[in-house]
Homo-oligomer: A and B are copies of this chain.
């Protein structure tokens, strides 16, 4: 795994407690260089040889700040860059013809963003910041070129895309096969794991999504999300105060199963 030193998210491990809402990171100025940013995370894991580092650094990689509620890109925008979340978090949103929207993804610090634009040179969904955030900009053309020179970079990009394919397939399973309780439990455990992978607490985190965002992502209404969380709390599985979530009993969450039917 990526050591904390290479993990941009670990640079400023903000763990906001309830009611101390403000993000403490300093959003990078939009012209700042970004040599120690998520680009490393994005490219290094399988190890780029030391002598290739200069080329890697040469990849123009500036940072951009995105304020809460702002779009990093919108569906239909021309696709030029990939992004790596440096701090904060964003949701991806896709719209149906008739205007209905659905949250299709959540990106935490250290995760990649923008792959939805590759297929048609236009972004297929919008990326909206859930809190003041900053991202590294990775020009796709340059990255593509670099991938032809450096095998490990090509490998890394492929894996990144492959991971998203698998993650989305897993989410299709969640939406297609699981009950409301199971969906919420799976979601909380997913966030918990992703936090752990990035060196944060797996037990406590501040989810920046609203209940409505969660519901949209999980294919249910905000009321159902709220009720489910309340029920989990009564059962002693979690302790939720608004957006601050404390996972008390992860094992219990994993055992949340399909609605039990009498006599089976």
Contact = CB atoms under 8 A, between A and B. Distances in A.
Interface of A: 92, 94, 96, 98, 100, 102, 104-105, 115-120, 124-125, 144, 147-149, 151, 154-155, 158-159, 161-166, 168-173, 175-178, 216-219, 257
B161 A118 contact: yes
A177 to B, nearest CB: 5
B117 A177 contact: no
A155 B147 CA distance: 11
A69 B165 CA distance: 24
Contacts of A170: 94, 124
A178 B148 CA distance: 41
Among A163, A175, A217, residue most surrounded by chain B Cβ atoms (within 10 Å): A175
Contacts of A104: 169, 172-173
Contacts of A218: 176
A20 to B, nearest CB: 32
A173 B119 contact: no
A173 B102 contact: yes
Nearest to A151: B148
A150 to B, nearest CB: 9
A260 to B, nearest CB: 13
Given A168-B172, A172-B168, A162 B117 contact: yes
A199 B160 CA distance: 33
Contacts of A125: 169
20 contacts: A94-B172, A94-B173, A100-B177, A102-B172, A102-B173, A104-B172, A116-B162, A116-B165, A116-B169, A118-B161, A118-B165, A119-B166, A120-B166, A144-B155, A148-B148, A165-B168, A171-B172, A172-B172, A177-B216, A177-B219
